[in-house]
Amino acid sequence: MNQKEAPQAFEDGGQATVDELKKLNFGTNKDPRPIYVSILLSPSEKKSYLELLLNYKDVFAWSYKEMSSLDPKVAVHQLMVSYLTWIANIVPIKKKNEQIRVCVDLRDLNNVCPKDDFPLPIIELMVDATTGHEVLSFMDGSSGYNQIRMAPKDEEFTAFHTLKGIYYYKVISFGLKNAGVTYQCAMPKIFDDMLYKNVECYVDDLVVKSRKREDHLQDLCMVFDRLRRYQLKMHPLKCAFGITSRRCQPFNRLVKKNVPFVWDKACHNAFESIKNYLVNPSILGALMVWNSLILYIAA
């Protein structure tokens, strides 16, 4: 191993050290493998450094052929083959329950997305379709949109900024145009033989209806089986089962025997609903096809 005086500055432009350096060659004259140590080291120190460096010379690379790669699990560098047109910002919104919903401002993306003209159900017709049913149950999808995955080729278009970097959605994000339509289109595939019979659906809201009270549990079982099969989850805090109330029911209970008279908010709301109903008589009503229909016409 040859030892020579080393210059204070390396040929590649590195900064000079305070100490003068001594070059040690771990290779041969034809295949030099230089490494530098301080010339101020004592003989014993120099020996110790030399032994240490020789034992760990595999952590150095004197040529590209000797270079390995860092474990990809630790870090990788990726080049975006197709750059994103835009990256959205986060918009925090406080919900009614005081929780914070993190939304993404997707207006730019929505502006370039064509509108899907798949028709959503008409709410008035859905309400009319529940006429004549003795029992109803209401269910709401748990974070409904997030239960449907994005098409892999479109995931990157939902990219947004965070303090920790840029992320994108792998599921439908709230605020995406046509999100409701996509959810609505999925419902007939899940409840194909139940819709308009014992199930009504508006996006992620479900109504299970039964003409006879004794049939409602069976109808619910059929719906739950279908939900389980397709792994569609409902929000338990937004569900109500076995509903039979009518406009007058909240304060009808007050006229029963041995019931304390307490006029609560439910009674007040029901009373206001009746007053509004009486002063605004309905022009159209749901057709009860199971009853006789009398048609009056003018000559």
pLDDT digits (tens, 9 = 90+) for 210-263: 898 888 888 888 888 888 888 888 787 777 788 775 554 555 555 566 767 777
* Residue 87 one-letter amino acid: I
Three-state SS for 93-123 is EECCCCCEEEEECCHHHHHCCCCCCCCCCCH
Domain residue limits at 37: 21-59
Question: Considering the domain boundaries, does residue 84 fall inside one?
Answer: no
Question: pLDDT tens digits, residue range 177-206?
Answer: 888 888 888 888 888 888 888 999 888 888
Does 45 share its domain with 98? Answer: no
DSSP 133: -
Residue 217 lies in a domain: yes
Using a cut of 0.75, tell me whether the model's pTM lies above it: no
Asked if 182 and 222 sit in the same domain, the reply is yes
For residues 221 and 237, the answer to whether their CB atoms sit within 8 Å is: no
Residue 12 in domain: no
- Residues 51, 96, single domain; the answer is no
159, 168 contact by CB (below 8 A) = yes
Domain-located, residue 163? yes
The region of weakest confidence among 8-12, 68-72, 222-226 is 8-12
Task: For residues 203 and 124, state if they share a domain.
Answer: yes
Instruction: Assess whether 208 and 147 both reside in one domain.
Output: yes
Residue 247: inside a domain, yes or no? yes
Looking at the structure, tell me whether residues 51 and 193 fall in a common domain: no
**Residue 135 and residue 47 share a domain:** no
Between 214 and 74, the more confident residue is: 214
Specify the pLDDT at position 254.
Answer: 57
Gap between the Cα atoms of 277 and 247, Å rounded:
10
- Structural domain contains residue 113: yes
Number of domains in the chain: 2
Highest-pLDDT range among 71-85, 105-119, 211-225? 211-225
Q: Tell me how far CA of residue 130 lies from CA of 51, 127, 134, 197, in angstroms.
A: 88, 6, 9, 10
Which of residues 97 and 89 earns the better pLDDT score?
89
* 113 & 257 share domain: yes
Q: Is residue 5 part of a domain?
A: no
- CB-based contact 134:212 (threshold 8 Å): yes
The three-state secondary structure class of 182 is helix
The enclosing domain of 149 has a CATH number of: 3.30.70.270
Query: Which residue shows structure tokens 């910002």?
Result: 89
In the chain, % of residues over pLDDT 70 = 70
Classify residue 75: in a domain, yes or no.
no
Q: What is the CA radius of gyration of the chain?
A: 37
* Amino acid at the residue 114: P
Q: Are residues 40 and 138 in the same domain?
A: no
Query: Are 134 and 42 within one domain?
Result: no
